[in-house]
Amino acid sequence: MTVLEGTLTSPRIVKSDSRGQLWKLLNGTEPNAPAGFGEIYMVTVQAGYSRGGHYHPRANEWFTILRGQARAVLTDPISREERQLELRAGDPSMLFVPAGVAHIFTNTGDDGMELWILAYSDQTYDPDDTIAYS
C-alpha cells in the first residue's frame, strides 16, 4: 500500500434555513480522526439574522469570524449578566465561549454580506447538551 492509498473523501453535512447554513466540516467520526476530537463547523448567517441563542452545559467552543461582522451577545443564564462584543473579519480574533455561557451571533453588516463563522467544539454535537436561551 502506498501513502496515497490512505487518502479518502467523506460527504459533509450541510443544514440550511432562512437564517443561513451550518456546515459540519469535521465531527470526529471520520476515519483516522483522533478519539475525543470534538468537531469543526462553519455557520453562515444572512444579513439581519441571528444564530445561536443557546448554551452548552458540557461543550466549550471557539469562534472566528471569517467574513463580515457580528455582534456576539454572551450571557450567564444564572445571573443574567451580559457581555456584548463586536467581531469583524477585517480585525480577526478568536472568541472562546466556555461551557455554560449562552451565546448568539447577529450579522450586523450593513452591506448585505453573509456572515461566516468558523467554530470548534471540544464535544461532538449532542442535542441534550444544547439548551435554548434567549
List per-block mean pLDDT (blocks of 10 residues) for the chain, which spans 134 residues. 77 92 88 87 96 97 96 96 96 94 96 96 95 94
Interstrand relation of 61-67 and 115-121 (parallel, antiparallel or unpaired): antiparallel
* Predicted local confidence at residue 1, as pLDDT: 67
In angstroms, rounded to a whole number, what is the distance separating the alpha carbons of residues 99 and 111? 33
- Give me the sign of the Cα torsion angle 86, 76, 96, 50: negative
Helices first, then strands: H and E counts in the chain = 0, 11
Instruction: Name the residue type at position 10.
Output: S
* Predicted local confidence at residue 32, as pLDDT: 80
* Predicted local confidence at residue 34, as pLDDT: 82
**Complete domains list, the chain, with CATH:** 11-123 (2.60.120.10)
* Predicted local confidence at residue 44, as pLDDT: 97
